[in-house]
Amino acid sequence: MLCEGAMMVALAQVLSYIKLMELPNGGSLTPAMFPIILFAVRWGLTPGLMAGFTFGLLQLIFDGAYAWGWQSMLLDYLVAFTPLGLAGLFKGKKWGIFVGTVVGCLGRFVIHYISGVTIYKILAPTEFMKWTFTSPSAYSLVYNGSYMLPNTIIALVIAAVLYKPLKKYILGQDLGN
């Protein structure tokens, strides 16, 4: 499990450099979340949360962290990537990779949303996508949703493509539990 976790975290880090889009205040579209979600669904909640935390730490160190102080570093990296491991709640479930992807991504979105409302509120009023926002809540919802929803879709598409050929692996049937 430990070796597989290290490989999945490393794969996620490498995939994080494939940026399909990058936003000005942090956030990007990448296929990076999928290996963490896959690991979580395969091994369970605690290992998944640890993999998500480790990936968040690597993102903070190597991805040129966009942060407004230590609070932002904590929330937007260490705390935000950890909930990807919530996918582990669906370990061994037939369609767990899909539900786990949605739950893990939703957990990450919630943390980014909280960060946007509490830390980035100093940017209000601000303009994003040709809209002017005076509400930190609305801004955080739109800003974080603009990359988290597509990232969730990317992870779901990867899961759909790999589900049939990797079904035994995803469900952990090769582990001989």
User: Which domains does the chain show, CATH number per domain?
Assistant: 2-115+147-170 (1.10.1760.20)
Q: Which residue has the tokens 């102080």?
A: 69
| pLDDT tens digits in sequence order for the chain, 177 residues long | 999 999 999 999 999 999 999 887 778 899 999 999 999 999 999 999 999 999 999 998 887 666 567 777 788 888 999 999 999 999 999 899 999 999 999 999 999 999 888 876 655 556 555 666 667 788 888 889 999 999 999 999 999 999 999 988 888 888 865
Alpha-carbon span 94 to 105, nearest angstrom: 19
